Amino acid sequence: MTLALARLAADAVLYEGYLLYPYRATARKNQVRWQFGVLGPPGAAEAGVGEERDLEVQVLLRPEAPPGGAATVVPTVAVHLRFLQLQRRIAEQEQTDGTYLPVDELRAGDAAWTSWDEAVEVERALGPFDATALRAGWVQTVEVDGGEEIEALPGGRLVRRRWRTRAEVSVAADGDGDLLRLRLRVTNTGEPTADKDAAIRGSLIGAHLLLEARSGRFVSVIDPPDEAMQAAGRCTQRRCWPVLAGDGGPDGQTSDVVLASPIILSDHPAVAPQSAGAMFDSTEIDEILTLRVMTLTDEEKAAARATDPAAAAIIDRCDQMSPEQLQQLHGVMRDPHGGVAGVGGGVGGTPDEVFATDVPWWDPEADASVSPDRDEVLIAGVRVSRGSEVIVHPSRRADAQDLFFAGQRARVTSVHFDVDGQTHVGVVLVDDPAADLHDWYGRYLYFAPDELEPVTAQSAPATEPAQRKESHS
């Protein structure tokens, strides 16, 4: 099940940038495609006509210890290589002598088809391999045949042609304390070429990996637990970004599935359940794209449908969307604390009360029970709210400017709760001569509760003002 869920995010990676709004072949932004995860054939990068031929990724695997004190079970890992194979669609018009002539566009009544580069999904499962095989290292070849298909149409035909592709996947592992460091490499081993057109035909497009572990858990290399911090620092990546993609475990820092993506993602990426379908641009907002599609003219929609069946599906889905479905895309109000009462606990009411209201999201009264000036948060057993004094201890999540404030005494100005369940505490520095002015303007520094220490009788004194580092522009 977790692999199936991971595939939802992996599919978004696979088709990222496949075809962009306004979904027409004639749009300038669709003249240059296949931007992500392209592994070109040998010689293409050197000749300046294609992308480099390989990617490399390193991940950490922790063997699971079965209950009852039995010996550690040997973990296994399955590797899923996924990419798109280019498929060239050529529109051909039938001539009077029975031959066919390639054309940019073929028309029959109200229908039209353009010559266009489509793509075919490819997935190859390798393994599973146990830890012994991983330590010894293995190499497997993946071959995908070419082919040709012909679709008859009134007044002509569509010829779809694919070219043979070949890749090599290598995996090796070595120990790093109680962890295994897996090293994976994918290399395009197809026919060498110095021709631009042949290079893209022989490329692996949107190439990425899904790794599935049994009797073991992958450990995050971008947000590792403390005991794996140094091992994660020794992992190197090339043209690839490994993130946890399966179930997050109790701490969210381990998983049974990893997605090695050509696009930088955070751990546990997911497609929003409100999304009605793929739009091929994961950095966009579905509502905005849907509204844009709905503003296209009939001629523009017809041109998009003629470009690609996937584009036609997007146009049809947007045209058929009901007001209720469109409203669902606008946003969802969620309980940020999962039903745990009293997390906010301030006079203004708990966040649970805010999200339990039936008031429409756009009404100012929807968040009337939230009061950053009066809400409070529990830090180290001490209730902290506006007026409380704290000492700032920026964590490794902080940016460089926040680190200047380490050890400084600050006065709390507000407590905020966001829709992701995070708490943010606004403060001004006690020793800052402009603290009152910042408070009046609402220009605060924001820290997580675990970055703050309540000032009590036992608290260490704040750093002397003479030690404070400031920057002025």
Q: Could you tell me the domains of the chain? A: 2-324 (no CATH), 351-467 (2.30.30.30)
SS3 state at 458: coil
- Residue 66 to residue 215: CA distance in whole angstroms: 9
Q: What is the DSSP letter of 99?
A: -
For position 352, what pLDDT does the model report? 37
Q: What are phi and psi of 306, to 5 degrees?
A: -75, -20
SS (H, E, C) 149-192: EEEEECCEEEEEEECCEEEEEEEEEEEECCEEEEEEEEEECCCC
Q: How far is CA 343 from CA 352, 355, 390, in A?
A: 9, 13, 19
Q: Are 318 and 300 in contact (CB under 8 A)?
A: no
Q: What are phi and psi of 412, to 5 degrees?
A: -70, 135
| Residuewise pLDDT in 10s, the chain (473 residues) | 578 888 988 998 999 889 999 999 999 889 888 888 999 999 999 999 999 999 999 999 998 876 665 566 789 999 999 999 999 999 999 999 999 999 999 998 888 999 999 999 999 999 898 888 888 999 999 999 999 999 999 999 999 999 999 999 999 999 999 999 999 999 999 999 999 999 999 999 999 999 999 989 999 999 999 999 999 999 999 999 999 997 766 778 899 999 999 998 999 988 877 777 888 876 667 888 888 999 999 999 999 999 999 999 999 999 998 888 888 787 665 554 444 333 333 333 333 333 444 555 455 555 555 678 788 899 988 999 999 999 999 986 667 788 889 999 999 999 988 767 789 999 999 999 998 888 888 899 999 999 999 997 444 444 443 333 333 33
pTM for the model: 0.72
* Helix 286-294 × helix 323-330 angle, to 10°: 140
Question: The tokens of 103 are what?
Answer: 């054309």
For position 73, what pLDDT does the model report? 73
For position 376, what pLDDT does the model report? 87
Among 160, 165, 161, 162, smallest CA distance to 193 is for 165
The total of other beta-carbon atoms located within 10 Å of residue 33's CB is 16
- Residue 59 to residue 245: CA distance in whole angstroms: 13
